[in-house]
Amino acid sequence: MAAAPDRRRRRAEERPLSEHHESSAGETPAVSGRRPLTRLLLALAAAVLALDLATKVAVVATVERGENIRLLGGAVYLTHLRNTGAAFSFAEGFTVVFTVVALAVVVVIVRTAQRLFSTAWAVALGLVLGGAIGNLIDRIFREPGFLRGGVVDFVSVFGPNGEVWPVFNVADSAIVCGGLLGAFLALRGIDFDGSRASADDAR
């Protein structure tokens, strides 16, 4: 008869231990205190988008198409061109293709934001997101039509009309800078959560 109370006593002592382990495992994310850097990503993307839209509206309102305004002794020319290709006027004529790609990029970045804990990655993706949306707005709403609109490009360096370097805009610059930063982080093995891939993982 004494054995039964002993077994019940052991069960009572073991139950809190198991419950403690389960609650600790469930609280691991909260204990870390880390939150996804979604706000940083969106804030940077919004800043890039606002600057891109403001400069495009100003150029369309004040600079005639094909006009070149010489600045900084000829180091920079302010012009007004419409680009149907990718960034820096690459692959013109594939407007619909690049529009679909831009939409896919936006969706992927927004989904990735939920597991983004690296500040550097937040900056990189924020630049790309803001630039992609900026050019996407042009492709949707500008002439000649939906998904085929020409992107407003207006910066030409070292020569007019893109003679030395393709004409570009704020969105193009943000996309390229964000892409280069993302490539650097990937080569360094830095993941979206800020952790660094080990040598075994790289293999």
Q: List the structure tokens of 58.
A: 């100003």
193 flagged as catalytic: no
| Long-range CB pairs of 32-37, under 8 A, 24+ apart, other chains included | 34/117, 36/113, 36/114, 36/115, 36/116, 36/117, 37/113, 37/116, 37/117, 37/118, 37/119, 37/121, 37/122
6 flagged as catalytic: no
Catalytic residue selected from 6, 52, 138, 153: 153
Q: Which is nearest to 55 in space by CA: 162, 159, 174, 158?
A: 174
Catalytic residue selected from 6, 52, 138, 172: 172
Q: List the structure tokens of 34.
A: 């880390």
| Catalytic annotation, residues | 153, 172
